Amino acid sequence: SLYKLSCSAYFTFLKLNAGQIPLDEDDPRLHLNHRAEQSTDDVIVMATLRLLRLLVKHAGELRQYLEHGLETTPTAPWRGIIPQLFSRLNHPEVYVRQSICNLLCRVAQDSPHLILYPAIVGTISLSTES
């Protein structure tokens, strides 16, 4: 399906931008359109958000692709959408919640401050509301 192709392409894109896959810098197919005004960081955030949407909306049919991609993708691209990841921790499907939790744990191993602060603030705000 197109969702499977999209999932695979987004994960490959994230790996390419993290330098995990060697590439030919002179290949014109790898360069963004010069007229495009989006920075690479913007495109990376867009790719991670689209993967998160695929996880949330189509986890059942894409589980195999998502599991492999989430386990092998570098954590750096996910740092830009940590608030969105936290907001999806209350998803009704156990698989989605567990996948996001595992991803947040991987990010926390590389950059604990990016996860601990929002988690503590969220816990404090929840305890003051009750």
pLDDT tens string 67-105: 999 999 999 999 999 999 999 999 999 999 999 999 999
Give the DSSP H or E segment for 25. none
Q: Which stretches in the chain have pLDDT values below 70?
A: 19-38, 130
What pLDDT, on a 0 to 100 scale, did the predictor assign at position 126? 76
* Residue 130 identity (one-letter amino acid): S
How many angstroms separate the CA atoms of 49 and 10, rounded?
10
pTM to 2 decimals?
A: 0.83
How many angstroms separate the CA atoms of 130 and 118, rounded?
19
How many angstroms separate the CA atoms of 50 and 47, rounded?
5
Q: How many CB atoms are closer than 10 A to CB 40?
A: 9
